[in-house]
Chain A
Amino acid sequence: MLRFESVSHTYSARGIEARTVLNIPAWSLMRGTHALLRGVSGSGKTTFFNIAAGLLRPTSGEVYLEDQPLYRLSEAARDRIRSAKVGYVFQTHHLMPGFTALENVLMPMMFAQEIPTALRRARAHDLLGAVGLANYARHRPHQLSAGQRLRVGVARALANEPLIVLADEPTAALDAASSALVMEALQTTCRANNATLLVASHDPALVVRFSVICDLHDGHLTESESAPA
């Protein structure tokens, strides 16, 4: 489903020593798998997600999403795949400032044009309800708490029924109850769609929710199976 082949990424800039943050010879995730990506701050988790989402071309190697080589495709084709097949929960919520929570959730549906127009609004309301924000649909980002904004981000990532959901620290700013709600929404929706879920988190409480645990250390990825809860 998602496959990394000889992927490495090096940050280099004039006057700064080049730094390789990712070096993954081979790695893949089957469709429908729920995996947790762990790693200390600066270990390259966000870089890993950006490469997986088709946002950041790796220095070398290729990423396959459903056997499509993302970086051999045109940028426009990658945009189309990202909008239709990838749901991304950003570490910082990144909501559109002038738009309501509902409109923020509608946004990826407008870009992808996969879901019929007539169904979009109802789906956006359902998703907001699933993350506990049914009564906040008309609120704008500045009228929401950090946790609520993050939950809108989760609802938005699920909008297009993506094949893969990448969630970068989705529970970092949430209390235990909200964290459980968000994780439940993510996992339930992904299970319903047989979508792959990859969550980056420091939260040890989340380990039990995942069947696959990946650790990123010094740019290297190791994978282990989680013990059942």
Chain B
Amino acid sequence: MTYDLFLAWRSLRSRPISSAITLVIIGLAVALPLVVLTLSDGAKRGIVRASDPFGVLVIGAKGSGQQLVLSTLLLQGAPVGNIPTTLYTDLRDDTRATLAVPIALGDNVGGARLIGTSADLLELRPSTTEPLTFRIVQGRFFEADFEAVLGSAAAQALGLTVGNTFLASHGVAPGLEEDVHDEPYTIVGVFDSTSSPYDTAVFVSLESIWHAHEHEEDERQQTFDNANEPTEPEEMITAVLVKPAGFIEANLLWQSFSTGTQAQAAFPGQELGALFDLFAQVERILGAVGGLVLVIAGLTAFLSLYNAIAAREGTIALMRALGCSRTSIFRMVILESLIATIAGIILGQLLGYVTALVIAALLTAQSAIPVPVQFLPTQATLLWLTPLLLGVAAAIVPAVRAYRVDIIQKLFPT
């Protein structure tokens, strides 16, 4: 076996360009599905982890449940709509809920979302056995209007700290035209990291949001003065995070909102599951592409090896004349393909994980959703076995050709 390996290795080295091309193509064929699978898995884990610190039922305006969960928990996209604050106060007093946290979205500061909420936020935790999700690491929680607490990532991104002030803009993201509210906020605290998109947000009281928009409403009233007496601006919020008292209560709450017309209730797990189904479809398509690339890599390996064997028939005949058996020659060709395949797989795995890590970092930076890249044992095994089998399959015909080399015909042509 030792000399088989030595000769196979030397044979690969004797045609560096063709061997390198084969190796790179196998590497790319392994890296592509690996990146897709790793990122898909990472995104799923990231989304679950990002919504995990809350462990809640999300109540919001009627519409897409998925959008409600994504906009409320992952801070992705625009909120579905507004709901009256009475829903929050009702839920706070509802025996089916142990905790209700109001969420009012709509403003931003330098791209960081401004979340109007209450001190109930501090009571959130993934489960009763786990520590509280939100912990102040600097300063204190807001107590008055126009006081703000920064998420850990927001503090870094905005370069603000306790004692600084800022002006909020209208909209969940910076617009082309700045629509800045007049009232400045004063930062009174900074949260520890929660490993969720909420780290990128700035937290203020609901009243601060309402007062900021009250001013806008007044202006609108003056512009469209078609009412006899001024009306109070309606106090609206975008969602309520509800901690149900138990499994039955959770379902009862969900049922009551599903049948009502005022709002909807969404289970994050259920909505994210539907999102993951979309992931699965994309995975299937990209998996097919990856399979195709693997087949192309197999064909490339086959062509490279077949041509090499055709060119080396004289050398093979010489080895046979020197006493090398046909089976050793056959084994040598298979080994040659296996060496190239294994090197290609190692290259592909390295390339795949490094690429996935880079893309994951970019995705995390863009979305604030952590995308953990993890070693996937099942997929890794598959991405070893499939190319290895292809490598062996690609070597069979060249190996048979090498096995059949006629010593006399090649060494003593007439």
Report which A residues bind B (CB closer than 8 A): 11, 46, 50, 53, 55-56, 75-76, 79-80, 82-84, 86, 88, 90, 94, 96-99, 107-108, 110-112, 156
B386 CB, min distance to chain A CBs, angstroms:
31
B323 touches A94 (CB 8 A): no
Q: How many A-B contacts are there with CB distance less than 8 Å? A: 62
A108 touches B325 (CB 8 A): no
Query: Number of residues in B with C-beta < 8 Å to the partner?
Result: 25
| A108-B322 contact, Cβ under 8 Å, with A55-B408, A90-B411, A98-B10 | yes
Q: Which of A50, A79, A112 contacts B408 (CB 8 A)?
A: A50
* Chain B residues positioned under 8 Å from A55 (CB to CB): 321, 407-408
B150-158, B287-295, B312-320: which lies at the interface: B312-320
A111 touches B408 (CB 8 A): no
Interface SS of B by simple majority: helix
* Chain B residues positioned under 8 Å from A98 (CB to CB): 10-11, 13-14
B3 at interface by CB-CB < 8 Å: yes
Q: Which of B11, B322, B327 contacts A83 (CB 8 A)?
A: B322
B320 touches A79 (CB 8 A): yes
* Chain B residues positioned under 8 Å from A107 (CB to CB): 319, 322
B6 touches A110 (CB 8 A): yes
A80 touches B407 (CB 8 A): no
Residue of A nearest to B6 (CB): A110
* Chain A residues positioned under 8 Å from B14 (CB to CB): 97-98
B402 CB, min distance to chain A CBs, angstroms:
15
Q: Which of B318, B326, B412 contacts A76 (CB 8 A)?
A: B326
| A94-B318 contact, Cβ under 8 Å, with A79-B323, A111-B324 | yes
* Chain B residues positioned under 8 Å from A94 (CB to CB): 314, 318, 321, 411
* Chain B residues positioned under 8 Å from A83 (CB to CB): 322-324
Residue of B nearest to A103 (CB): B10
| A110-B3 contact, Cβ under 8 Å, with A79-B323, A83-B323, A83-B324 | yes
Q: Which of B10, B13, B408 contacts A56 (CB 8 A)?
A: B408
* Chain A residues positioned under 8 Å from B315 (CB to CB): 96-97
A99 touches B10 (CB 8 A): yes
Give the residues from 286 to 345 in chain B that come closer than 8 angstroms, CB to CB, to chain A: 314-315, 318-328
Give the residues from 381 to 414 in chain B that come closer than 8 angstroms, CB to CB, to chain A: 407-408, 411-412, 414
* Chain A residues positioned under 8 Å from B13 (CB to CB): 98
* Chain A residues positioned under 8 Å from B319 (CB to CB): 96, 107, 111
Residue of A nearest to B407 (CB): A55
Nearest first, the 5 A-B pairs at minimum CB distance are A83-B323, A110-B3, A98-B14, A111-B323, A79-B325
Q: Which of B6, B318, B323, B411 contacts A80 (CB 8 A)?
A: B323
* Chain B residues positioned under 8 Å from A90 (CB to CB): 321, 411
* Chain B residues positioned under 8 Å from A84 (CB to CB): 323
| A111-B3 contact, Cβ under 8 Å, with A50-B408, A75-B326, A97-B315 | yes
Bound: A156/B323 CA distance, A? 12
B230 CB, min distance to chain A CBs, angstroms:
94
B323 touches A82 (CB 8 A): yes
* Chain A residues positioned under 8 Å from B10 (CB to CB): 98-99
* Chain A residues positioned under 8 Å from B324 (CB to CB): 79, 83, 111
A111 touches B321 (CB 8 A): no
Bound: A55/B319 CA distance, A? 12
A14 CB, min distance to chain B CBs, angstroms:
14
B17 CB, min distance to chain A CBs, angstroms:
14
Q: Which of B318, B328, B407, B412 contacts A96 (CB 8 A)?
A: B318
Bound: A11/B119 CA distance, A? 102
B366 CB, min distance to chain A CBs, angstroms:
51
B412 touches A111 (CB 8 A): no
Jot down 23 A-B pairs with beta carbons below 8 A, ordered by A.
Answer: A46-B412, A50-B412, A55-B321, A55-B407, A55-B408, A75-B326, A80-B323, A82-B322, A83-B324, A86-B323, A88-B321, A88-B322, A90-B411, A94-B314, A94-B411, A96-B315, A98-B13, A107-B319, A107-B322, A110-B6, A111-B319, A111-B324, A156-B322
